Amino acid sequence: MSFDADLIACAQLVERGDPDRFAATMAAPVEVRKVLFPIYAFNVEVSRAPWVTQEAIIAEMRLQWWTDALDEIATGGLVRRHEVVTSLAHVLDATAARQLQKAVQARLWDVYRDPFEDHAAFSKYIEDTAASLLRAASQALSGSMPDALTDLGYAAGLAQFLRAVPELERQGRWPLVDGRPEAVRDLAATGFDRLVKSRRARASVPTQARPIALAAWQAGPILKQAKSDPRRVVDGTLGTSEAAKKARLMWQAATGWW
């Protein structure tokens, strides 16, 4: 598959809507980008679907549209014409398409203002919205979905979610099951432990799928910050400088480590 108009449109959508994943994807080999850009463009579209309307039923209809599109890909039938869906159809098999349906289903939480029922529900949300992207990409690139990517995706997703907590609270949501500093510290520690676990299982990730891990390049520093000073979550001060981000991404791309 070449970089046709649809794939270029996917890349532009990611560049506008998810600049960190765009930077990570641009650090990957060209053949990997052809898989990642459609998946990340899908994620941009799905993640913003609950926020573009105040009507819950309309938001649910938007999410259902993506579930149905992925069904078309998974069943091998006629696939609707859409720059992202068409690009996805070129790279996903049925297993990968079903993985991405988890991300769509998880976004129903974003439609409403209910808190997570418990820590298990919260963890499932993080895995389904973040790890499912990595697992689908790995399936597309290598035909396998090693467990290490679930742990890595959780760590990366949690880091991103913690950075979003202040904005979610401003939107009237209840993002954390337990917002006490000690609970936030424990949550960040759990995320960092899963990051370490994924590092130990790095060898289980096929070589052709390892550039997927570039998307998690900020997870370690952010989770360390939240673990060290959980007040930074509420203050919205998690993150590193642009220079530090660039240096870390370059190091990870050069070494293949995360």
* pLDDT tens per residue, range 88-105: 999 999 999 999 999 999
What are the tens digits of pLDDT across the range 158-171? 999 999 999 999 99
Report the pLDDT value the prediction gives residue 237, as an integer from 0 to 100. Answer: 97
- Between the alpha carbon of residue 134 and those of residues 23, 180, 209, the distances in Å are 16, 30, 9
The band of 2, judged by pLDDT with boundaries at 50, 70 and 90, is confident
Averaged pLDDT, 3-7: 94
What are the tens digits of pLDDT across the range 138-149? 999 999 999 999
The band of 110, judged by pLDDT with boundaries at 50, 70 and 90, is very high
Q: What's the CA gap between 16 and 13, in Å, rounded? A: 5
Residue 127 has pLDDT above 80, yes or no: yes
CB 222 within 8 A of CB 238: yes
Averaged pLDDT, 224-250: 97
Report the pLDDT value the prediction gives residue 95, as an integer from 0 to 100. Answer: 98
Report the pLDDT value the prediction gives residue 178, as an integer from 0 to 100. Answer: 97
* pTM score: 0.96
Domain count, the chain: 1
Residue numbers of the domain that contains 73 = 5-255
Report the pLDDT value the prediction gives residue 93, as an integer from 0 to 100. Answer: 98
Give exposure, 73-96, as e/b (b: 16+ Cβ within 10 Å).
Answer: bbeeeebeebbbbbbbbbbbeeeb
CATH code of the domain containing 46: 1.10.600.10
Averaged pLDDT, 162-181: 96
What are the tens digits of pLDDT across the range 189-214? 999 999 999 999 999 999 999 999 99
Residue 1 has pLDDT above 70, yes or no: no
Report the pLDDT value the prediction gives residue 217, as an integer from 0 to 100. Answer: 96
Report the pLDDT value the prediction gives residue 24, as an integer from 0 to 100. Answer: 98
3-class SS string, the chain: CCCCHHHHHHHHHHHHHCHHHHHHHHCCCHHHHHHHHHHHHHHHHHHHHHHCCCCHHHHHHHHHHHHHHHHHHHHCCCCCCCHHHHHHHHHCCHHHHHHHHHHHHHCHHHHCCCCCCCHHHHHHHHHHHHHHHHHHHHHHHHCCCCHHHHHHHHHHHHHHHHHHHHHHHHCCCCCCCCCCHHHHHHHHHHHHHHHHHHHHCHHHCCHHHHHHHHHHCCHHHHHHHHHHCCHHHHHCCCCCCHHHHHHHHHHHHHHCCC
What are the tens digits of pLDDT across the range 112-121? 989 999 999 9
Report the pLDDT value the prediction gives residue 204, as an integer from 0 to 100. Answer: 97
